[in-house]
Chains A and B, each alone.
Chain A
Amino acid sequence: MNCPISQPDPQIITLAHGSGGQQTSQLIEEVFIPAFFNDSLAMLHDGAFLNLPSNKIVFSTDSFVVQPIFFPGGDIGKLAVTGTLNDLAMCGAKPLYLSCGFIIEEGFLQDDLKRIVASMKEEAQKNGVQIVTGDTKVIERHNGQNIFINTTGIGVRFGVPIYPGKIQQGDAIIISGDIGRHGMAVMSKRHEFSFSSPLISDCACLFPIVQHLLQDGIEIHCLRDLTRGGLATALVELAEASNMHFEMRENAIPVSDPVRSACEILGFDPLYVANEGRFVSFLPPSLAEKAISIMQRYEEGIDARIIGFVQARSTPPLVVLKNSFGSSRNLRRLNGDQLPRIC
């Protein structure tokens, strides 16, 4: 005889999974611990005990709300790990530990959650990072398709701190690869645009390249990963933070044909399109060639090249983009979102 009271569907997340009771424990024990297993997590305590040198700690946090949650080249889980690891890497730090907070919508498929957690596990393991503490909350159903992830990371820096204030006149500005892949991949998936060439996100952890550069003694003045707002916004932020004038060469900035085509059709400027696996580095020009050859040993760095130079201190700080016709324009921060052209 069947029980007349309906049971929650085991295949979806319900409000009970966020209640802090039985179903929450079940989720932790069946999904999170097997994926992220480590001694700290196995203690099932309120926090994690970490062993860290006290004066070299780097700390960063980021939240991830990407839609769609699965996109060509990655998913929200991979992004949640690489995003925070990249922020640590940009400070010249080796990432060690991550915390992870999930906010999941009632009705979310458990299989999708498992896929996301598997991506997180893979990315964390690949980079020698432990996910040592976490939290899960469930919110009421909207369309049953939303999941938000916050990750906070702790790392230890290799050597001297790396930050925008160290940018110097004459520094070469090097980009690690072609721009705009992530934003266009996500947008084409979100709006179901079917372009003939595939658009695949550049979503990747940049720590291995940064580690290699630092271990080979490259004197890096500043690093910045390119995320929302694209290359242009990152450069403007750094020019303002360092009070410097950057002169960029438009024709040196690598943009793949599929990204260029999609941008031309929609009326987007690839300089403002999001990336999730690219960074700019500022370093003495004498070291540029060596740095580029190191970057090019990695898949993510194959298109690394010099795209500009730091000119001098300037008020106001400016990023000037010179084009191949000999004229120039100023770059600004992205304002709102880029919107497709009307005609």
Chain B
Amino acid sequence: MKYIDEFRQPHLVQKLVDSIHQITTKPWTIMEVCGGQTHAIVKFGLQELLPKQIRLIHGPGCPVCVTPIHFIDHAIFIAAQPNTILCSYGDMLRVPGSFTDLLTMKAKGSDIRMIHSPSDVLRIAQDYPEKQVIFFAVGFETTAPANAMAIYHAQSHRIHNLSMLSAHVLVLPAMELLMKSPDHVIQGFLAAGHVCTVSGYQQYHILSERYRIPVVVTGFEPLDILQGIYLCIEQLENEKCKVTNQYNRSVQERGNLFSLKMIEKVFQVVDREWRGIGKIPSSGLDLKKEFQMFDAALRFPMDRSLLDTENGCISGLILQGKKKPNDCSLFGNLCTPEKPFGAPMVSTEGACSAYYQYRRKK
């Protein structure tokens, strides 16, 4: 199949694996930032193919995993209001809030719709003008442009029964936070290819220089990931630290200018709390003042003081690469995809879910 098979050819995989073995002389710890990369690494068993000294740790790039629990609670609160239709992506419906999840609310009678694209939300809002339609929007730079477009469209077409609960996050500030942590072990980054398709990687040079760390913008197929690892190890072994672009069939240094313009038009950068990690400065996107009439958090304000968030889940440590899923005492026995304690066990991009799905228990 075009664009897939070329990047999964066994003989090329073997060749790259051999090259990685040849250049590796020391132990290195590399973080793949995106949950899609984690999923591919675990699904294709890529870690098994690498030299023992190479340790891959899984980053915070799963939009479902990092959405803080108060957003889930807020979405649940809105879904419980009469005359509302709450729309979100499938995985968000399964993430546990403080007391329940959206799927349970749906079963109890709330009108909650699983959507595939922001255009679904616009259509629903136009089909039900008498209802309040709320888009629980999550994701990184990848989903932000299309979600921004939905709000831009709602404004220009006067679709005033639509609003957005914006839980968007930005990747680079999270990578920076990880590097600032005194006990981090990250020696190289595989940056998220699809995020960089939108954002470009101009700003990654500062990160790489400031923390003297190689950053390789990397794709998602086995050959992409192995080549990303190769390019990263090559730099580490030669004491280099620069930004290189493995995923050049999709990513340009300046990114997708139209998408960036749309994000800038609709969203403003704000401090944002990340699930399990805490507040990261300038790491979120909220609606700009001129679009605040579409802000569901303002339209349906909620008192956060009643909620409780502790349940033993170590997702914060997992999202920072400090622990692996099977280091968690809940993993696989108390916490399973059927009964998740935390979001990383819910989403297919979550490290815990990927481990549960594809790996034998420790």
Name A329's contact: one of B45, B49, B194 (CB within 8 Å).
Answer: B45
Interface size class of B (residues with CB under 8 A): 35 or more
Binary per-residue interface labels of chain B (1-42) against chain A in the complex, 1 for a CB within 8 Å, 0 otherwise: 100100010100110010000000000000000001000001
Is B359 within 8 A of A327, CB to CB? no
Known A-B contacts A325-B45, A326-B49, A330-B359; A261 and B1 likewise in contact (beta carbons under 8 Å): yes
Known A-B contacts A191-B116, A325-B222, A326-B49; A339 and B90 likewise in contact (beta carbons under 8 Å): yes
Q: Is A7's CB within 8 Å of the partner chain B?
A: no
Binary per-residue interface labels of chain A (288-303) against chain B in the complex, 1 for a CB within 8 Å, 0 otherwise: 0000000000000000
Return chain A residues, CB-CB under 8 Å to B98: none
Return chain B residues, CB-CB under 8 Å to A336: 94, 337-338
Q: Report the minimal beta-carbon distance from A337 to chain B, rounded to whole angstroms.
A: 8
Known A-B contacts A323-B44, A327-B45; A339 and B91 likewise in contact (beta carbons under 8 Å): yes
Known A-B contacts A325-B10, A329-B359, A330-B360; A342 and B49 likewise in contact (beta carbons under 8 Å): no
Is B63 within 8 A of A340, CB to CB? no
Return chain B residues, CB-CB under 8 Å to A337: 90
Return chain B residues, CB-CB under 8 Å to A332: 356-357
Return chain B residues, CB-CB under 8 Å to A326: 48-49
Is A342 within 8 A of B89, CB to CB? yes
Known A-B contacts A325-B45, A332-B356; A340 and B116 likewise in contact (beta carbons under 8 Å): yes
Is A335 within 8 A of B338, CB to CB? yes
Binary per-residue interface labels of chain B (61-95) against chain A in the complex, 1 for a CB within 8 Å, 0 otherwise: 00110000000000000000000000001110010
Name A260's contact: one of B4, B43, B90, B114 (CB within 8 Å).
Answer: B4
Q: Which of A328, A337, A342 has the most CB of B within 10 A?
A: A342
Name A257's contact: one of B1, B10, B42 (CB within 8 Å).
Answer: B1
Q: Report the minimal beta-carbon distance from B39 to chain A, rounded to whole angstroms.
A: 8
Is A342 within 8 A of B138, CB to CB? yes
9 shortest A-B CB distances, which residue pairs?
A: A327-B45, A339-B90, A343-B142, A329-B358, A335-B337, A327-B48, A324-B10, A342-B89, A325-B13
Give residues in B with beta carbon < 8 Å to A. Answer: 1, 4, 8, 10, 13-14, 17, 36, 42-46, 48-49, 63-64, 89-91, 94, 114, 116, 138-140, 142-143, 194, 222, 336-338, 347-349, 356-360
